[in-house]
A and B are shown apart, each in its own frame.
Chain A
Amino acid sequence: MNQRREVNVESLFGKRVVDRDGRPVGRIEEVVAIREGTTCVVTSYLLGTMGLLGRLAAWRVARPLLYSVRGGGRHATRIPWEKLDLGDPAHPRLTCTRDELDGSR
């Protein structure tokens, strides 16, 4: 069965990402892509923290201002595209556990 689906990038911003075991990892702050000729593919996702600022970021209105407070992603976690499962775009999951990610912080 053709499993191609569509999702709008803007609906991903701010979504909580949990790891394979359900533990929180961060919120999607940015989607990084690369242009190859006439196509453009996603290479990775940048996640922000789940701390206090992260909880404030749940409040959609505060999010844009907070990006500047944190200096634009200095504490961002970079997740390569293959590690994020967007089967349910409203609830993105990592395909691995939080600790397996540590190399990319």
Chain B
Amino acid sequence: MKKALEITLGIVTSVGGFLEIGSLATAAQAGAQFGFQLTWAIALGTVCLIFLVEMSGRFSAVSHHTVVDAMRERFGFDFFLIPLVFVGLVTLLVLIAELGGVCLALQLVTGLAFPWFALPVGFAVWLLLWKGTFGVIEEGVSLLGLVTVCFLVAVFWLHAPLRDVAAGLIPSRPAHDRAQYWFIAVSILGASISPYLFYFYSSGAIEDRWDESHLNTNRMVATLGMTFGGVLSAAVLVVAAIVFEPRNIRIERYDQIALILTEPFGWWGFVLFAISLGIACLGAALEITLALTYMVSQGFGWMWGKNARPRDAARFTAMYTSIVIVATLFVLTGLEPLKLTVLSMALTAATLPIAVVPFLVLMNDEHYVGDHGNSWVGNTIVLLITALAFVLAVVSLPLEIAGS
């Protein structure tokens, strides 16, 4: 019974982290510009993420190390610096986008420009971390995050042509704007396969003292949780396709996306969107801040733990405080959030090999995972999708930057 509860909570909390501003923005743009054509990108990203999350849970349960611990121990400090810096910087960009997302939700509801909310939102995030009763917070935010199911409801409310949606699962050539098409595909992949997700999940497994008896739980949580998140992203794409594409609306600003649910639900749709955006981004902001702090703390061997009292883990606390402050300052500058979000997703895709390749090496190292190493299936799928994401990113990023 306890395991069943654990599994359910695991799924719920993982959903909370999946549908956030990156998935929302990229899926909405994809639907608006290319209808159902980019559903395959969401599917591919979700499949890769399922494998990676399951691997990271398995890794920690069996080796009793977090992924970051093992990366420094196995590869040495000078090598470890590279993922630390690159993944760290890109993840910081994503954090800025998420904080911006919470502020945008507030802007939608109140009409006040989003930078006004930067300081209160930053403070709220910091306070939630400082208070440290993380189990309650994590689960509370994630349960509230279930409001994002409204997108799934909208899919059926709008009588989405499911056969056409399914056709989008097969990659196809776009009829127009080819560079944009591939750029959005890359951003979707980066939004789905975020390294912070599996670093965070691995730390959680250690904090929850997982061991080999949790391997089945891990498999279920990873598969069901990430699939649910992927389905929600796809739902956003489908609704955007139905609402925006026929009207030829190109998504350039967030207030445009806000209208996405008004067709099915009227004024309530607008409110639902704002709440969904705010809560999903808040959950993501908490997770990302912790993931970044974990990376640094574990890399340097400090005391770490989201439930630790601040005075017991002073450097850990100072680190997340600094991260929140820096990210908040950037939100204050009023950087255009939609472009920043989509760009940070593409950059995530571009830096995926740096995060994933060492991790795959670890997943095949007997010294850490013993008998529970990867099968060739897992290795191949993750490598292929990572390589695809990287190639697409390297090709489409410069074109996109040149184009805009």
Which residue numbers of A lie inside 8 Å of B, CB to CB? Answer: 10, 13, 60-61, 63-65, 68
Contact = CB atoms under 8 A, between A and B. Distances in A.
Contacts of A61: 78-79, 82
A65 B361 contact: yes
B357 interface: yes
Nearest to B82: A61
A73 to B, nearest CB: 12
A65 B82 contact: no
Contacts of B364: 68
B76 A65 contact: no
Contacts of B357: 65
A60 B80 CA distance: 11
Contacts of A13: 76
A66 B121 CA distance: 45
Interface of B: 74-76, 78-79, 82, 357-358, 361, 364-365
A64 B74 contact: yes
Nearest to B361: A68
Secondary structure at the A interface, as helix, strand, loop or mixed, is helix
Q: List 7 tightest A-B contacts by C-beta distance, closest first.
A: A64-B75, A64-B79, A68-B361, A64-B76, A60-B78, A61-B79, A65-B361
B78 A65 contact: no
Contacts of B358: 64-65
A95 to B, nearest CB: 28
Contacts of A64: 74-76, 79, 358
A68 B79 CA distance: 14
Given A60-B79, A61-B82, 18 more contacts: A10-B76, A13-B76, A60-B78, A61-B78, A61-B79, A63-B79, A64-B74, A64-B75, A64-B76, A64-B79, A64-B358, A65-B75, A65-B79, A65-B357, A65-B358, A65-B361, A68-B364, A68-B365
B359 to A, nearest CB: 12
Contacts of B365: 68
A64 B365 CA distance: 13
A15 to B, nearest CB: 14
A59 to B, nearest CB: 11
A42 B364 CA distance: 29
A10 B361 CA distance: 22
